[in-house]
Amino acid sequence: MTLHDRPRVTAVLGPTNTGKTHLAIERMCAHSSGMIGFPLRLLAREVYDRVVAIKGRERVALITGEERIVPPDARWFLCTAESMPLQRDVAFVALDEAQLGADRERGHVFTDRLLRARGREETMILGSEALRPVLRALIPGVEIVERPRFSTLSYAGAKKLSRLPRRSAVVAFSAEEVYATAEMLRRLRGGAAVVMGALSPRTRNAQVAMFQAGEVDYLVATDAIGMGLNLDVGHVAFAGLTKFDGYQRRRLTVAEMAQIAGRAGRHQRDGTFGALVAEGPDAFEPEEVAAIEGHRFPRLDWLYWRDGEPDLSSLDALIASLARRPDHERLRAAPEAIDVKVLKRLAEEAGVRDRARGANVARLWAACGIPDFAKLGLDPHARFVGRVFGYLAQGYIPHQWFADEVARLDRVEGDVETIAGRIAAIRSWAYIAQRPDWLADPAHWAARTLAIEERLSDALHAGLTQRFVDKRTTALARKIGGGAGALPVEIDAQGEVTIDTHPIGRLEGFRFLVAPDANAADKRLLLATAEKRLAGERRRRAEALIAAQDHGFALGEDGAILSQGLAVARLARGSSLMRPQLMLDPALDCLDPGVRDRVAARLRDWVASAAGTALPALAALSQAARAESAGPALRSIAGALEAGGGFAERLPLRSSVEALTPDQRRWLRRQGVTIGALDLFDPRLLKPGAQRWRRALLRAAGAPVAEAPAQGATVLPRGAAGAVPAMGYRLIAAQAVRIDMVERIARAVHDARGGDSPRAPFTPDPALAVSIGLEPATIARLMAELGFRPAAGGDGPPRYVWRGRARAVAAPVRPAPDNAFAALADWGRS
């Protein structure tokens, strides 16, 4: 191994936010050509865009595992560390985040670039101050420049998610934790952008742009943000301080904590960091806080190393060279990375050994370098690599197999996890397409896989935004901090309520209805906001209700009092039928007590007026029932009629009816009350308008009331409910007959008796009873209730004899099918 000792090697060391990467970009652009290696594809893409803006797209190249943009005249190269084309002769070379040489999985790559990547005129190594001793030992004569942090980084203590300041980044260490945290922030604060190393640059940039533009105030990320991504973050909150590093779950080192926490603050604006909990394993220790604030970290005494130019003469030579140990005390043999593990697994297969000869050894090693983007694990990934090598050993990867696998991923439907899985899978095929000698038409497939990745990336961004961002709640959360009076609440003519142009619900009458697409947590926030800001509008509506004309109110079928079609109160049981209680709708509880009392008084006045107009007889009877001057008999009858909604059976009131004076009878007639043979009633109450009020008042009083019968119906079908008396019908046998029709039949029967000998047998005319649909059993029962019995003897139509209602007996009858009154012929024969 040869250690390079070039005079123009500069190490720029320091914590985050020292401008190291910015300095490297400036130095590279000052040279005629250059190259920078970055730890992340995302960071390489970000800097590529910056350099393109300076030098032009035709002069700048981007080289990563899955993306390769190399114009013919490219002179400045932005790459991931693994993809740096070390064979190119360029004036300037830089390696960013060189302290990653101590990383178990990728450290050997950064160490190799630190030792072998050199610029013709200048080489720059960027990294943490912890690198100083190992750089001194590995690169004699290296010039070390220390860069101080532009701003202060301080510990702000533990803060719950609901208490995080705006422009905060929450760092978690798995996709599941990231998604759970983002969902919680959406509920509490309106949402968050999501940044993970596994995201494609297009998705990541769209998410970051949303955060940078202020569309969301929070960002949830993995530790990928610690690798130099420039974000406008004021506070970094750690969701935890442990991570799974591929081998074990361990606590972050202080250097790792500082790398992530250092994303807070930008240029000369100070930043803060903290955790989400104050105690336990996910809380900071005092000594860790002191080290992060003071930028004091343990020095790196060694880096991981693996032969960067292994022996490709044979499979065994390749494996042996990869296992070779370093010969410098500052270097350690790298743990077996996934590529070496796959190589060894495939080397156990006889078919692979047979094909891995000559130039195919290099092809096998290149195939083992395909990253396990989908995190399939060793065995599935090794099978995939083995199949790829099987094709490569024979020439090219088959067009049809590659095309079918790529087409299978060209679908944007599905949830966030599904689309993210497709992006991980397409990255493998994009990596293959970037190899110049693996496909017959690599340029076509590179463009095709990139197009699919971009479509999937757009779909993933849309899915992440839909799942984790509620712009309405974001606007609310921002405005609420300024106090309720600062909220720009607007209500249009249709009752639509918006805050800062975001619809939050509707104001229907006095009830605020939250937008149906809001979840439970959002609803609490929106309701709280609305309650604070809609008081003035509700008071205005209450005053309009109090001042409304009578025609502005209506009675609903269920006893609700309506204003503009919305219920504002409901009738309830009172001291009597015509004196119901009035229960204001709960939506009016938001009003001040004094205003509510005035609204209730206005509605009571309307109910008294409207009920009196619709039910004049009942209004008069209600007063008579309480007037001492009316006398006991009239008060008794008036009370019974009021309780029955204008209908009362005569038999229980017989003594009161007989006690009425002629003046009292005339008074009842003037009120519209008919004293019938079987019932006392006001026929006007059978009309639809009056029936609506009657049903509402009876229901409010707790009386059973059936649905309104068809208008004009004189007989209800069999099985009518027991509520028919309240509807103005009398139950006779199996039928319910309207009370006024019963009275007409009774008068017709009495008229048929004749006036000379009222107890003489007579034959009634059945035409009226038959015309209204009475059944024989109903007629027989009605005649009995009217006080008639069948006359004995004689042929032909049945004859009846008056016996008086006092002696009326209800007897079973047997209807005859041929004559409506024939059933009465059997009465008295037993």
Three-class SS string for 285-348?
CHHHHHHHHHCCCCCCCCEEECCCCCCCCCHHHHHHHHHCCCCCCCEEECCCCHHHHHHHHHHC
Q: Are residues 688 and 559 in the same domain?
A: yes
Q: What tokens does 441 get?
A: 């038409």
More confident residue, 790 or 115: 115
Query: Could you tell me if residue 732 is inside a domain?
Result: no
Q: What tokens does 530 get?
A: 């609305």
Q: Are residues 376 and 489 in the same domain?
A: no
Query: Could you tell me if residue 313 is inside a domain?
Result: no
* CATH number, position 53: 3.40.50.300
Choose the final residue of a domain: 120, 146, 172.
146
CA–CA dist 364, 351 (Å, integer): 12
Tens digits of residue pLDDT in 623-681: 888 888 888 999 999 999 888 888 999 989 999 999 999 999 999 999 989 998 899 99
More confident residue, 457 or 814: 457
- Half-sphere exposure at residue 632, Cβ-oriented, CA atoms within 13 angstroms: 5
Rg for the chain (alpha carbons), in Å? 46
Domain hosting residue 777, numbered range: 747-826
pLDDT band, very low/low/confident/very high, at 722 (cuts 50, 70, 90): low
Overall number of domains in the chain = 6
| Residue 298 in this model has a pLDDT that exceeds 70 | yes
SS3 577: coil
Q: Are residues 627 and 487 in the same domain?
A: no
Residue 108: what pLDDT?
Answer: 96
Contact 405, 411 (CB under 8 A): no
Choose the final residue of a domain: 434, 450, 466.
466
| Residue 21 in this model has a pLDDT that exceeds 50 | yes
Angle, nearest 10°, between helix axes 175-189 and 520-533?
20
Which single residue is written with the structure tokens 């943490």?
128
Q: Which of 365-369, 480-484, 732-736, 798-802 has the lowest mean pLDDT?
A: 480-484
CA–CA dist 480, 90 (Å, integer): 55
DSSP strand pairing (715-716 vs 735-738): antiparallel
Q: Which of 115-124, 278-287, 764-773, 798-807 has the lowest mean pLDDT?
A: 798-807
Query: Could you tell me if residue 689 is inside a domain?
Result: yes
Residue 195, classified by CB atoms within 10 Å of its CB into exposed (0-12), middle (13-18) or buried (19+), is buried
Closest to 555 (Cα-Cα) out of 386, 731, 699? 699
Contact 679, 743 (CB under 8 A): yes
Q: Which of 223-227, 354-358, 730-734, 822-826 has the lowest mean pLDDT?
A: 822-826
Residue 723: what pLDDT?
Answer: 59
Q: Are residues 459 and 480 in the same domain?
A: no
Q: Are residues 125 and 192 in the same domain?
A: no
Query: Could you tell me if residue 546 is inside a domain?
Result: no
Contact 203, 219 (CB under 8 A): no
Q: Are residues 247 and 225 in the same domain?
A: yes
Query: Could you tell me if residue 260 is inside a domain?
Result: yes
| Residue 5 in this model has a pLDDT that exceeds 50 | no
Q: How far is CA 372 from the centre of its chain?
A: 34
CA–CA dist 456, 520 (Å, integer): 30
Contact 622, 642 (CB under 8 A): yes
Tens digits of residue pLDDT in 321-345: 999 999 999 999 999 999 999 999 9
Q: What percent of the chain has pLDDT over 70?
A: 87
Contact 368, 347 (CB under 8 A): no
Q: Which of 80-89, 200-209, 283-292 has the lowest mean pLDDT?
A: 200-209
Q: Are residues 624 and 490 in the same domain?
A: no
The most confident of the ranges 293-297, 300-304, 487-491 is 300-304
Query: Could you tell me if residue 357 is inside a domain?
Result: yes
CA–CA dist 273, 283 (Å, integer): 12
Contact 242, 281 (CB under 8 A): yes
Q: Are residues 404 and 387 in the same domain?
A: yes
Q: Are residues 107 and 179 in the same domain?
A: no
Q: What tokens does 787 get?
A: 């006080």
CA–CA dist 602, 600 (Å, integer): 5
Residue 757: what pLDDT?
Answer: 64
SS3 content of the chain, % helix, strand, coil (to 5): 45, 15, 35
- Half-sphere exposure at residue 621, Cβ-oriented, CA atoms within 13 angstroms: 32
Q: What tokens does 644 get?
A: 């029955």
Query: Could you tell me if residue 658 is inside a domain?
Result: yes
Residue 415, classified by CB atoms within 10 Å of its CB into exposed (0-12), middle (13-18) or buried (19+), is exposed
More confident residue, 782 or 69: 69
646: which DSSP letter? S
587: which DSSP letter? G
Closest to 787 (Cα-Cα) out of 826, 827, 817? 827
Query: Could you tell me if residue 713 is inside a domain?
Result: no
Q: Which of 220-229, 273-282, 575-584 has the lowest mean pLDDT?
A: 220-229
* Residue 55: CB atoms within 10 Å: 16
Residue 440: what pLDDT?
Answer: 93
Tens digits of residue pLDDT in 695-706: 888 888 887 776
pLDDT band, very low/low/confident/very high, at 767 (cuts 50, 70, 90): confident
Q: Which of 537-546, 608-617, 761-770 has the lowest mean pLDDT?
A: 761-770
CA–CA dist 771, 76 (Å, integer): 105
Q: Are residues 57 and 115 in the same domain?
A: yes
Choose the final residue of a domain: 430, 447, 466.
466
Q: Are residues 460 and 500 in the same domain?
A: no
Q: What tokens does 632 get?
A: 């006991």
- pTM score, two decimals? 0.62
Residue 276: what pLDDT?
Answer: 93
Q: Are residues 25 and 111 in the same domain?
A: yes
